Homo-oligomer: A and B are copies of this chain.
Amino acid sequence: MEGMPQPSAPRRSPGRPPRISREEVIGTARRLVTEEGVDRLTMRRLAAEVGSTPMALYHHVRNKEELLVLLLDDYAARTLRRPELPARPRERVLAAAAAIHEALAACPWIVEVLTADDLMSTSALWFVEQIVDGLVEGGLSVEQAVHGYRAIWYYTVGEIVVRATAARRRADDARATYREQVFGSLDPGELPRLAQVADRWAPLTGEDTYPDGLRALVDGLLAVR
Contacts and interface: CB of A to CB of B under 8 A. Distances in A.
Interface string A191-208: 111101100110011010
Interface in A112-137: 115-119, 122, 125-126, 128-129, 132-133, 136
Interface residues of A, number: 69
A147 interface: yes
Contact of A158 (B116, B157, B197, B220): B157
A154 B150 contact: no
A148 B193 contact: no
Give the copy number.
Answer: 2
A42 to B, nearest CB: 17
Given A155-B158, A213-B154, A178 B118 contact: no
Interface of A is mostly: helix
Contacts of A161: 115, 157-158, 161
A44 to B, nearest CB: 20
A145 B197 CA distance: 10
A5 interface: yes
A129 B165 contact: no
Interface of A: 3-5, 62, 111, 115-119, 122, 125-126, 128-129, 132-133, 136, 142-143, 145-148, 150-151, 153-159, 161-162, 164-166, 169, 174-175, 178-179, 181-182, 186, 190-194, 196-197, 200-201, 204-205, 207, 209, 212-213, 215-221, 223
